[in-house]
Amino acid sequence: MTVLASFARTSPRIRSEHLRSALMGLFSVSVLAVTAESAQAQSAPDPNSARNRVSREAALSTPAPQNSETPANGGSNTPIMQNTVSGFGQTAGDPGPYFSAPMGSQHFLGDWGGAQPWLLKHGIHLMAAINEEFAGNFTGGKQRAYSDAGQVGIELDIDWDKLAGIRNFWTHALVVNGHGQSVSRNFGDSIAGVQQIYGARGNVVAHMVAMYGEMSFVHNRIDVSAGWIPVGSFFAASPLFCDFMNVAMCGNPAPNKYTEGNRDWPSGNLGAVVRVMPTMDTYIMAGLFAVSPHSYNGGISGWSWAQSGLGKFSTPVEIGWTPRFGHNQLQGHYVLGYSYDNSRYANLYEDIHGNSWQATGQPRRYEAGRNSAWLMIDQMLMRNGPGNTNGLIALAGAMYSDGQTVAMRDHEWAGLVDTGSAWGRPLDTVGAMYQHFDMSHTAALQQESSLALGLPYQDNQWGAVYGPQSHENVYELFYSAHIARAMALQPDFQYIQRPSATTTFHDAAVLGVQFTVVL
């Protein structure tokens, strides 16, 4: 159905041209609702999508051209404003936007009759966005199916220095309304949804995604955020991921965002993040988040922060190197991360004696703690514009999670993104991506046990299971066309080998289209 997608984790798109002060995190307060059919929620956060969110380029970004328009997709052609550190040979610019706001400062409706310039002058960044995604499989899967899904919302970022004289302090809030369901569920794939946005918003008018404060110190070398924060908006995030429609990549990559300690958009967690920049092109980031044992962090609406059972914590840590190479300052991002959740989780297969808990009826074995790790790389190979993402960019990465308690053990990906400068369409974006998913051996043992005992397959973090799972591949190709100010239309093709990581259904081919606009 519809939606606010572009911001942050969600759809690719439309970020800012001059996201000035305080746009750093996402503080969006949002809104509008819409629905023509009930929102179908998924137990794990739909990593929805949305988001062109976290921008790692902040620290030494190239200033955006004064007369350029931000591409509607917020992807490769998004100019990033200059943000440097004083005391090290340069002047401190906007401290913030190490984490760019999910949506950009361009608006389809212009300056709102003069209101926008006044708001910006007073440090108030207010934006509304709509994202609609239609997709259907024309072959393969358990049946032919199609679905329209989307999201709508309003984002609010406040620079309290401009508004009230409180230096280096910002607040961020984001509220969304989502509707529709993923067509992947209908044609039998629970692993890599072909739509970024759908359901998982609790079927409420305003689902709380994020609300937190942020403050910087030591000439912006140290940045602290605390409040209701989606873990994936800070960790294992990239502004390139939501150029792609597939939800296993958009927002942040699976499997982390489907686990209790690292849930991402549209789920938030009570927690805090500290980022330190030892040098101009390196950072160290660490977080501490309360782990919710419930299916929905903050309840079905995201507003119930004082849930029961919040005694455990996840502690993600990430280090990054953001070099620039050559005369053309080819930007790269090299990231290594690790997260530990000190909760206890049931082993997917074993009982207390190491046998099948389904076969013996004995209590299940519980594992102490859960580990995950990720490696992410993107490198500009050829520049065709002034921004940090204006050029041909190669990206690749891998993410691992504990296969004893998580049904997906690892996820690898590789892709290319470029703008349309070569054919006179600099505000367009084109990209291709390959993804590979390995399901855990422990999950397969449990599924084989169900089969042998004639029992129904157990659902896992990804939803319904149709047979013993092993691996799945997804190929995606898209072209995002800038069709008006702050508006993009993106045709998308995806080919899914082994839907739901089994051989139960034939490979599926899916055609889709995404519409995004920042109002």
CA pair distance 402, 162, nearest whole angstrom: 46
Q: Is residue 247 part of a domain?
A: yes
- Quote the number of domains for the chain: 1
**pLDDT for 299:** 67
Which run of H or E residues covers position 299? none
CA pair distance 152, 103, nearest whole angstrom: 12
Range from 292-296, 429-433, 437-441, 495-499 carrying the lowest mean pLDDT: 292-296
Q: Is residue 21 part of a domain?
A: no
Q: Is residue 125 part of a domain?
A: yes
Structure tokens at 56: 């790692």
Asked if residue 23 lies in contact with residue 7, where contact means CB atoms within 8 angstroms, the answer is no
Over residues 235-279, the pLDDT tens digits come to 999 989 999 999 999 988 999 999 988 988 888 889 999 999 999
Over residues 100-146, the pLDDT tens digits come to 443 345 789 988 999 989 999 999 998 899 999 999 999 999 999 99
**pLDDT for 78:** 26
Q: Read off the pLDDT of each residue in 218-240 and give the average, rounded to a whole number.
A: 92
Q: Is residue 364 part of a domain?
A: yes
Q: Is residue 340 part of a domain?
A: yes
Average pLDDT, the chain: 79
**pLDDT for 388:** 78
Q: Is residue 461 part of a domain?
A: yes
CATH number for the domain including 316? 2.40.160.180
Q: Is residue 95 part of a domain?
A: no
| Domain interval for residue 215 | 112-518
Task: Say whether the peptide bond before residue 266 is cis (omega within 30 degrees of 0).
Answer: yes
Cα radius of gyration (the chain): 21
Range from 165-169, 308-312, 360-364, 390-394 carrying the lowest mean pLDDT: 308-312
Residue 80's closest CA among 276, 333, 413, 284? Answer: 333
Asked if residue 287 lies in contact with residue 338, where contact means CB atoms within 8 angstroms, the answer is no
**pLDDT for 414:** 98
pLDDT band of residue 10 (cuts 50, 70, 90) is very low
Q: Is residue 66 part of a domain?
A: no
pLDDT band of residue 233 (cuts 50, 70, 90) is confident
